[in-house]
Amino acid sequence: MTKKIFISYAKKDAREIALALADALAEVDGLEVWIDRSLRAGRSWELQIQQQIDDCDVMIVLYSPDINRHKLGQPESYVLTEIAYAKYTAKKPIIPVMAIQTDALISLTMEHYIDFTISGVISKLVEALCSELEIASDVELSELEKSAEAIRTIIGEPFEWCEIPAGEFLYGKDKETLSLPTFAISKYPITYRNFQQFIEDEGFDIDASWWNDLLWYHPSTPGEQTMKYSTNPRDNVNWYEAISFCSWLSQKIDPNYDVYDLVNYFVRLPTEPEWEKASRGIDGREYPWGNRFDAKKCNTFESGTGTTSPVTLYSEGNSPYGVQGMTGNVWEWCLNEYFYTEANVINIDFSSRSERAVRGGSWIDNQYHAYTYCRSKYAPHGRGNQLGFRIMRPL
């Protein structure tokens, strides 16, 4: 028997996730999905929504900051009206989903929510929802999840991808509108354990192909890790070593990758615009979780740790796409030079000694370096116990 699903969400900040979820659920046998893109012209949209709620078997509500806008003195989100109608008039079961970190609704305190922000992977959300609905999901691993599994077999846990949807977003302190294609970024910075696999696989061998473009700068040994805990971020790593790690990992996944074609590696460092969208989402927020600093959501000077911390901590500070640790812990190397133009943001000159951009702040820096748009720079050969990196994959 087919179950009918109604998806309720706030267009301002959860539309991309809602549409992706609707498309994924529509692929599951035994489910029929309705979302407001099916509204018919020339008819009352409110009556159409009420009719669809009446007809559905269950409502899925996506939590996002905009549904709580009334707490900021703004008009109440229509999502709350849909919830009230479904719960008290139509008497429909409701499954809340924490799509983007925010406060859970008081009206749904008795309903346990599924936390999408933990994984940021739609297929995992579909699997969880199908479990709640007692339907076999039969969802195959996506290509992105398959590649994550392949990477885990090489560098170990923890490693996950978070998909960043295509589209416009607000960039920089001045909130310039930019647009990027879909890409994926690692949920966590590369850890000590991850990087050790590179070192132990003769990563610093001068004859290794992943150093081909960088032989003029080839360190004989890696920098000393400050905190040798497997899940702490790899620190004391310079830009060239991060680049070589990406080249090594790309070749481990596919030996046919052209080591001279940095832009088309299977994985690479993110550019600043890519890094910022993954951290900030589309609404120009100050921090990955919102606009107010919270030392309990990140590892900065204010947190008082006095060193780096495991990358799996501070999940409450995740970005809108589920990316973790983008504020504090370690500054993260970006692909581009600090002084870049749109034309050369991704066309990298390996021989250039120009300073490279880093993002995110670190454990030793205060909250004013933790803004999603805050930039800093280091010489590409620079190392430090506050320097690390994460990787991305073009899609």
**CATH number, domain with residue 41:** 3.40.50.10140
Residues 335, 373 share a domain: yes
> Is residue 139 in a domain?
no
pTM (predicted TM-score): 0.68
Sign of the alpha-carbon dihedral angle for 60, 158, 136, 31: positive
Instruction: Look at residue 306 and tell me if it is in a domain.
Output: yes
Pairing of strands 161-164, 356-359: unpaired
Residue 316 sits in a domain of what CATH number?
Answer: 3.90.1580.10
Residue where a domain stops, chosen among 133, 161, 189: 133
* Average pLDDT estimate for 177-204: 92
In this prediction, residues 390-394 reach a mean pLDDT of: 95
Percent of the chain having pLDDT more than 70? 89
* Total domains present in the chain: 2
Confirm whether 225 is domain-assigned: yes
Question: CA-to-CA distance for 68 and 79, rounded, in angstroms?
Answer: 10
In a domain, 287, yes or no: yes
Alpha-carbon separation of residue 243 from 44, 97, 265, 334, 394 (angstroms):
55, 37, 10, 10, 15
Given a cut of 70, is residue 300 above it in pLDDT?
Answer: yes
Predicted local confidence at residue 317, as pLDDT: 93
CA-wise closest residue to 126 among 117, 118, 136, 111: 136
Tell me: do 72 and 125 sit in the same domain. Answer: yes
Confidence check: pLDDT of 10 > 60: yes
* Same domain as 105, residue 51: yes
* Averaged pLDDT, 286-313: 94
Specify the pairing of strand 167-171 against strand 392-394.
Answer: unpaired
pLDDT of 118 reads 63
Note whether 220 and 322 are same-domain residues: yes
Residue 104 sits in the same domain as residue 181 = no
- Residues 228, 373: one domain? yes
| pLDDT, tens only, 326-382 | 999 999 999 999 987 765 566 667 777 889 999 999 999 999 999 999 999 999 999
Regarding whether 219 and 95 lie in a shared domain, the answer is no
Question: Which domain does 185 fall in, by range?
Answer: 144-394
Same domain, 72 and 18: yes
Peptide bond into 96 cis (omega under 30): no
Residue 240 lies in a domain: yes
> Which span out of 97-106, 182-191, 205-214 was modeled with the highest average pLDDT?
182-191
Whether residues 125 and 158 share a domain: the answer is: no
What is the tens place of the pLDDT at every residue in 119-165? 666 777 788 788 878 776 655 567 888 888 899 989 988 898 999 99
User: What is the percent of the chain with per-residue pLDDT over 90, rounded to a whole number?
Assistant: 52
Does residue 368 belong to any structural domain of this protein?
yes
Residue 138 falls within a domain, yes or no? no
Q: CA 340, CA 329: separation in Å to the nearest integer? A: 25
Instruction: State the residue for tokens 């409701």.
Output: 94
Q: What is the pLDDT of residues 39-88, one digit of tens each?
A: 887 788 899 999 999 999 999 999 988 999 998 899 999 999 999 999 99
Q: Is residue 341 a part of any domain in this protein?
A: yes
Give the residues across from 338 on adjacent strands. Answer: none
> Degrees (nearest 5) of the Cα angle 173, 9, 16?
55
Structure tokens at 99: 């799509």
pLDDT for the residue numbered 140: 57
Residue 219 pLDDT class (50, 70, 90 cuts)? low
Output the pLDDT for position 208: 66
Residue at a domain's end among 69, 101, 133: 133
Same domain assignment for residues 114 and 184: no
Same domain, 256 and 310: yes
Do 245 and 328 fall into the same domain? yes
Lookup: tokens for 237:
């790593």
Q: pLDDT digits over 238-280, tens only? A: 998 998 899 899 988 888 777 666 667 789 999 999 999 999 9
Mean pLDDT, all residues of the chain: 87
pLDDT digits (tens, 9 = 90+) for 272-297: 999 999 999 999 999 999 999 999 99
- Record the tokens describing residue 181, joined without a space: 């294609």
**pLDDT, tens digit, 9 for 90 and up, residues 336-346:** 999 877 655 66
Domain-ending residue, one of 133, 153, 186: 133
Amino acid at site 236: N
